[in-house]
């Protein structure tokens, strides 16, 4: 229990002024009109049928607020409720009570602003660094079999919504897969490359490529046609997607989204579902940008190992830019909605080609 903070004045010099209020014994809802005073023995409460002294060690004092009642609680369940909050504060101040640091800060708008600013900094740090670190930690305990089941389920769902059977000639599909397999083999020691499967599909999302958990890589017919079947470009894009597979970005996003959902639900409650969803969406975009940069590094490494120039990816972005005419890249679908700016990525690939 919180005990009062006393000034240097002694008990002998304390005021014996009394404070009016209602006393509740903790067993009955009927109040007893009482007068409270502080004595060397403790808190004295007197009324028509009441005369008791409570040791200060058994008294819990209320925090001072701008509004609200002042209720003193006693260890045995009894309480004393002052009629006049202002008079109660003055009565306690007259006995040397200054209040805790937190209590005084709550009464200061400067203190409140400092607390809000510190909370915002802490929340930002947790959002930016704590959450990704937590997701990586949780992901280390998730077996790869979970990735595979989730990836298969996602592919099945997408197959019924945006993906259709490929119309590319089978000869071309196999040639592109062989070229990619050769590049991967050159970039990884035997048996060390992440498991993957390449699928070509006609789609409703236009030129696109994306990786699903468990090593499923999807490239749309529209993307192959956009780059005019350029094998080096296709290998570079598939290598980028393999980077997502290698770093388990898909599963990491699932874990991060789940953690964000838990945190925001606790903070805002289920009744604010739309508000709780907002940071989840923002978090996906921010973390995806970091993941894209990691995947670009993998693409550069595989291209170099295969003796191919990273400039292939520059050609890819030029093709995409020419098709879109500078429009919002999110129109291309899920794989490009949160990618870093093309200019930044092009500069990275140009530098890697030197």
134 burial level (CB within 10 Å; 0-12, 13-18, 19+): middle
- Cα separation, 193 vs 143, whole angstroms: 17
Work out the mean pLDDT of the chain and round it to a whole number.
79
For residue 94, give both structure tokens: 């007259």
Query: Residue 65 CB: number of other CB atoms within 10 A?
Result: 13
The answer to whether the predicted template modeling score (pTM) of the entire model surpasses 0.75 is no
The pLDDT of residue 127 is 63
The pLDDT of residue 73 is 92
- Cα separation, 247 vs 249, whole angstroms: 5
- Cα separation, 131 vs 349, whole angstroms: 29
Q: Are 53 and 39 in contact (CB under 8 A)?
A: yes
2 burial level (CB within 10 Å; 0-12, 13-18, 19+): exposed
Residue spans per domain, the chain: 11-99, 143-352
The pLDDT of residue 314 is 93
β partners of residue 22: 33, 81
Average pLDDT over residues 106-122: 74
Average pLDDT over residues 83-110: 74
Q: Topology of 11-99 in CATH?
A: PH-domain like (2.30.29)
The pLDDT of residue 192 is 94
For the ranges 45-54, 253-262, 312-321, the lowest mean pLDDT is seen at 253-262
The pLDDT of residue 227 is 94
The pLDDT of residue 338 is 45
For the ranges 32-46, 121-135, 164-178, 339-353, the lowest mean pLDDT is seen at 121-135
Query: Strand order in 209-212's β-sheet?
Result: 163-165, 197-203, 216-220, 209-212
For residue 305, give both structure tokens: 């190992």
Residues with Cβ within 8 Å of 116's Cβ and at least 6 positions away in sequence, in order, are none
Average pLDDT over residues 133-156: 80
Q: What is the pLDDT of residues 208-250, one digit of tens each?
A: 999 988 999 999 999 999 999 999 999 999 999 999 999 988 8
Q: Are 167 and 202 in contact (CB under 8 A)?
A: yes
The pLDDT of residue 261 is 60
β partners of residue 178: none
- The better pLDDT of the pair 271, 29 is held by 29
What does the CA dihedral 61, 64, 65, 68 come to, rounded to 10 degrees? 50
Q: At what angle do helices 231-246 and 311-324 cross, to 10 degrees?
A: 100
Q: Are 82 and 88 in contact (CB under 8 A)?
A: yes
Please, which pLDDT band fits residue 5 given cuts at 50, 70 and 90?
Answer: very low
């Amino acid at each position: 229990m919180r005990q009062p903070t006393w000034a240097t004045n002694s008990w002998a010099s304390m005021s014996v002024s009394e404070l009016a209020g209602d006393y509740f014994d903790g067993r009955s809802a009927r109040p007893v009109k009482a007068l409270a005073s502080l004595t060397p023995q403790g808190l004295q409460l007197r009324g028509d049928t009441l005369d008791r002294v409570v040791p200060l060690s058994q008294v819990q004092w209320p925090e001072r607020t701008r509004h609200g009642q002042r209720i003193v609680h006693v260890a045995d369940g009894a309480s004393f409720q002052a009629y006049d909050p202002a008079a109660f504060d003055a009565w306690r101040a007259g006995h040397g009570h200054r209040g805790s640091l937190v209590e005084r800060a709550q009464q200061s708008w400067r203190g409140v602003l400092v607390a809000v600013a510190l909370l915002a900094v802490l929340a930002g740090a947790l959002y930016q660094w704590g959450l990704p670190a937590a997701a990586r930690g949780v992901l280390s305990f998730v077996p790869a079999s979970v990735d595979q089941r989730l990836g298969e389920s996602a592919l099945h769902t997408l197959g019924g919504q945006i993906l259709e059977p490929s119309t590319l000639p089978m000869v071309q599909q196999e040639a592109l897969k062989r070229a990619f397999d050769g590049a991967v083999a050159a970039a990884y020691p035997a048996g060390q490359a992440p498991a993957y499967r390449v699928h070509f599909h006609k789609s409703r999302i236009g030129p696109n490529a994306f990786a699903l958990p468990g090593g499923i890589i999807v490239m749309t017919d529209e993307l192959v046609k956009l780059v005019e079947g350029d094998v080096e470009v296709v290998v570079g894009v598939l290598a980028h997607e393999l980077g997502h597979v290698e770093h388990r970005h898909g599963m990491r996003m699932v874990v991060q989204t789940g953690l964000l959902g838990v945190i925001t639900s606790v903070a805002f409650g289920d009744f604010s579902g739309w508000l709780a969803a907002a940071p989840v969406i923002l978090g996906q975009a921010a973390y995806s940008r970091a993941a894209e940069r990691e995947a670009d590094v993998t693409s550069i490494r595989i291209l170099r190992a295969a003796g191919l120039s990273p400039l292939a990816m520059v050609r890819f972005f030029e093709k995409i830019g020419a098709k879109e005419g500078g429009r919002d890249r999110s129109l291309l679908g899920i794989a490009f909605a949160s990618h870093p700016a093309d200019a930044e990525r092009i500069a990275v690939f140009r530098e890697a080609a030197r």
